[in-house]
């Protein structure tokens, strides 16, 4: 759902990327649990997974040379959240995954109206 929302808005990482991140995250958690790995071992797997996702997210962030503008932060955060949701699924916490997905979709849906509201406020303020 997150990937579909991002793709519909023309963002860099779309439905396929988010689906792969979620499925991969769930699998990286699920397989060690199925093999009987202890909590300490699963903790190490989660740490490695987060480091790998951080590397993937870093690749989506661009700083434009001619501007002080950074692009891709929301995309990176969305991929990071998708990995967390996938990990929740892998750990058998489906309700947490569903609620987290709805929360993120709400945040992404409200971002545009909040941004427009902020721009209008700035435009209405007289300059000194």
Average pLDDT over the chain, rounded to whole? 84
pLDDT tens-digit readout, 58-84? 888 876 666 677 778 888 888 999 999
- More confident of the two residues 2 and 20: 20
Q: How confident is the model at residue 96 (pLDDT cuts 50, 70, 90)?
A: very high
The answer, yes or no, to whether residue 126 has pLDDT greater than 60, is no
Other C-beta atoms lying within 10 Å of the C-beta of residue 100: 17
- How far is residue 120's CA from residue 22's CA, in Å, rounded to a whole number? 37
* Domain span holding position 72: 2-124
What is the pLDDT, as a whole number, of residue 128? 45
Domain total of the chain: 1
Q: pTM for the full model?
A: 0.77
The answer, yes or no, to whether residue 54 has pLDDT greater than 70, is yes
Sign of CA dihedral 62, 3, 118, 99: negative
Sign of CA dihedral 114, 115, 120, 125: positive
- More confident of the two residues 62 and 48: 48
- How far is residue 61's CA from residue 52's CA, in Å, rounded to a whole number? 15
| Residues 70/73/75/79 CA torsion (nearest 10 deg) | 150
The helix/strand/coil state of 71 is strand
- 63 has which bridge partners? 70
């Amino acid at each position: 759902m997150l990937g579909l929302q991002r793709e519909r808005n023309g963002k860099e990482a779309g439905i396929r990327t988010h689906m792969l991140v979620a499925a991969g995250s769930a699998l990286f958690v699920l397989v060690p649990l199925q093999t009987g790995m202890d909590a300490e071992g699963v903790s190490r797997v989660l740490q490695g997974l987060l480091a790998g996702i951080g590397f993937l997210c870093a690749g989506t962030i661009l700083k434009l040379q001619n501007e002080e503008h950074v692009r891709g932060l929301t995309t990176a955060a969305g991929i990071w959240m998708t990995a967390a949701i996938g990990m929740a699924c892998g750990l058998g916490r489906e309700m947490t995954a569903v609620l987290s997905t709805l929360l993120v979709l709400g945040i992404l849906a409200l971002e545009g109206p909040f941004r427009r509201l902020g721009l209008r406020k700035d435009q209405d303020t007289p300059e000194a």
